[in-house]
Structure 1
Amino acid sequence: LILLVPVLILASSGLAWGEEVKWRYEYAPSRQEAQRSGLPLLLDFSTDWCTYCKKLDVTTFKDPQVVKALNEQFIPVKLDGNREKRLVEHLRLQGYPTIILAAPDGRILKTIEGYVDAAKLQAQLAEVSAALSNPDWMLKAQQEAGRAMAAGDFARATMLLRSVLEDEGQRPVQLQARRQLQEIEQLAQLQLQRARQHAERQEFAEAMTGLESLQTRYEGTQTAQDAAKLLAQLAENPQVKLQQRSRRAVEMLAQARRDLREQNYLCCVDRCAVLATHFGDLPEGAEALKILDQIKANPDWLKAATETLADRLCEMYIALAEVWVKRGEPGLAEESLQRAVAIKGSRHFEAARVRLVQLKSQPAEPQ
């Protein structure tokens, strides 16, 4: 695949041969203009001794429809083959005139050798324009992606931009979409770099938090995939596992202390029991045992914990009874409700008693 060279210092030609076409005469600035505008290029290679080149100028390039198409939908560039030898060699041109139609990024779409009449050139121009046109749905998606980027919703922006680029086309809107994706990737790379720096300093908790945030915020990017791989590697690191275990114990103890302050004694007991069982080798496990002893030594706290447990157990028996009813097992449902009403101190005692009376009053279904 031959691409137009990105930059060449080219000599400009003299006066324009076709006054109606807004010719450019320097290649490098024209390439830059095409990239900025998203318009394709028409390169007309000719020489001053070429008869058919002159015929092309006074016929085809004078045609009103051709002129309109070139001025509105293309960047027309007229180049002297004798002066642009480096470009001619790069493109491997065999003769004159030669017209090259290229995408805004320099990808060559069509090469027309020799004289071409207005009708045939117009058809070629229309075909290229159609291939590079911006469908309405692509424009809307790209614009919506821009708004998402401005709002910091990079995951949604990435999804929209990837839908625009799905067919790997070279339309102007797709060139813009690629630039936007590159911007998102660059932002994600900055966050990935910070996470790697944390990991290098053995600040694994900060590194993993940053990587998890990156995966969510920049979902769909290549950088997010790289972050997932690094996160998986860190998760297998023995030092990381130790830090994570210690961090979990610290967080659980903090929650247990919060439960104690807020008088959620049963929840506090549950958390402290987990800490004592699974983190007994850590300071948090020892601290949890002290909190458990505090609760057990305080009759009011212990009473509140047992009442909460009774409420929870009664509520669960009622729920279990409803499951048995739905499954056509009234006997098992009654058994569950009888267990519920046996817990007389529960706030759900009366609801369990009423439901048990209702269930017993229902006629038995025939065997």
Structure 2
Amino acid sequence: MDRRPLAKFCLALLVCLTATTAVTAADKAAAKKVDWQPNLTAAHKQSLKTGKPILLVFGADWCFFCHKLERETLNEANMAKFINSNFIAVKLDLEKDEEAAKILKVKSLPATIVVNSDADMLANIVGYQKSESYAKNLRTALRMHQKLRQVSAEKTTTTK
């Protein structure tokens, strides 16, 4: 009995399964990343369009805890998914984005600031935090964001 057709079929099946696994692994890796916007202008436009608040994360190349925050907290799969679903994220460098840091009064790194599209401060998280406490602070910022939106909507309704 000639086994070559069976061997070819098994090899083709193995190639297909490997390719599918590679795509799935790539998709999973992409899902673990925060969708960082390139700059504040792009983030503001997207915030206006979606109604999501802006998450600003200040860091620096030399900052050990900035890298730790990104590696252990921000790149954690559930955290990245939570951030992508609820915020417009922008990563800023303290030295390159010095003016924004001055305006927002960033004094220590890492610093996470959450603002709405009207630049109302919703949260100011200073330092490294593990995922649980970081998420808790972000949820508090989201609640504040919702309250401000509700108040704004009520003002609009009563002035008409």
TM-score (normalised: structure 2): 0.71
CA contact (8 A) 1:45 1:80 kept: yes
How many aligned positions are there?
A: 130
Alignment of structure 1 residues 156-195 onto 2, 5 Å: 169-171=147-149
CA contact (8 A) 1:40 1:74 kept: yes
Amino acid at match of 2:143: A
Aligned equivalents of 1:32, 1:93: Cα separation in 2: 23
Q: Does 1:70 align with 2:83?
A: yes
Using the TM superposition, give the Cα deviation of residue 64 of structure 1 relative to its aligned residue in structure 2, in angstroms: 2.0
SS in 2 for 1:99: strand
Structure 1 runs of 4+ with >4 Å offset: 173-178
1:82 alignment counterpart: 95
Using the TM superposition, give the Cα deviation of residue 174 of structure 1 relative to its aligned residue in structure 2, in angstroms: 5.7
Q: Which residue of 106, 111, 124 corresponds with 2:137?
A: 124
- Any idea what the Cα deviations from partners look like across 1:286-317, whole Å, max 9, x if unmatched? xxxxxxxxxxxxxxxxxxxxxxxxxxxxxxxx
2:28 alignment counterpart: none
Aligned equivalents of 1:26, 1:80: Cα separation in 2: 11
Q: Whose helix fraction is larger, Structure 1's or Structure 2's?
A: 1
Label 1:109 to 1:49 Cα distance change in 2 as closer, same or farther (>3 A): same
Aligned equivalents of 1:34, 1:27: Cα separation in 2: 10
CA contact (8 A) 1:69 1:125 kept: no
Amino acid at match of 1:129: L
CA contact (8 A) 2:58 2:94 kept: yes
Q: Does 1:41 align with 2:54?
A: yes
- Any idea what the Cα deviations from partners look like across 1:219-253, whole Å, max 9, x if unmatched? x648xxxxxxxxxxxxxxxxxxxxxxxxxxxxxxx
Using the TM superposition, give the Cα deviation of residue 68 of structure 1 relative to its aligned residue in structure 2, in angstroms: 1.3
CA contact (8 A) 1:25 1:79 kept: no
Amino acid at match of 1:42: L
Using the TM superposition, give the Cα deviation of residue 91 of structure 1 relative to its aligned residue in structure 2, in angstroms: 1.4
CA contact (8 A) 1:21 1:71 kept: yes
Using the TM superposition, give the Cα deviation of residue 32 of structure 1 relative to its aligned residue in structure 2, in angstroms: 2.1
Aligned equivalents of 2:53, 2:33: Cα separation in 1: 19
CA contact (8 A) 1:103 1:170 kept: no
Q: Does 1:95 align with 2:73?
A: no
Using the TM superposition, give the Cα deviation of residue 95 of structure 1 relative to its aligned residue in structure 2, in angstroms: 1.8
Amino acid at match of 2:134: L
Aligned equivalents of 2:152, 2:42: Cα separation in 1: 18
- Any idea what the Cα deviations from partners look like across 1:259-309, whole Å, max 9, x if unmatched? xxxxxxxxxxxxxxxxxxxxxxxxxxxxxxxxxxxxxxxxxxxxxxxxxxx
Aligned equivalents of 1:121, 1:27: Cα separation in 2: 22
Aligned equivalents of 1:105, 1:55: Cα separation in 2: 30
Using the TM superposition, give the Cα deviation of residue 26 of structure 1 relative to its aligned residue in structure 2, in angstroms: 0.3
Q: Does 1:56 align with 2:69?
A: yes
Label 1:122 to 1:105 Cα distance change in 2 as closer, same or farther (>3 A): same
Using the TM superposition, give the Cα deviation of residue 130 of structure 1 relative to its aligned residue in structure 2, in angstroms: 2.9
Using the TM superposition, give the Cα deviation of residue 57 of structure 1 relative to its aligned residue in structure 2, in angstroms: 1.1
5+ long unaligned stretches in structure 1: 1-17, 134-168, 182-219, 223-367
Aligned equivalents of 2:100, 2:63: Cα separation in 1: 18
Aligned equivalents of 1:130, 1:110: Cα separation in 2: 11
Q: Which residue of 24, 40, 43 corresponds with 1:27?
A: 40
SS in 2 for 1:170: helix
5+ long unaligned stretches in structure 2: 1-30
- Whose RCO is larger (CA < 8 A, sep 6+)? 2
Aligned equivalents of 1:99, 1:105: Cα separation in 2: 17
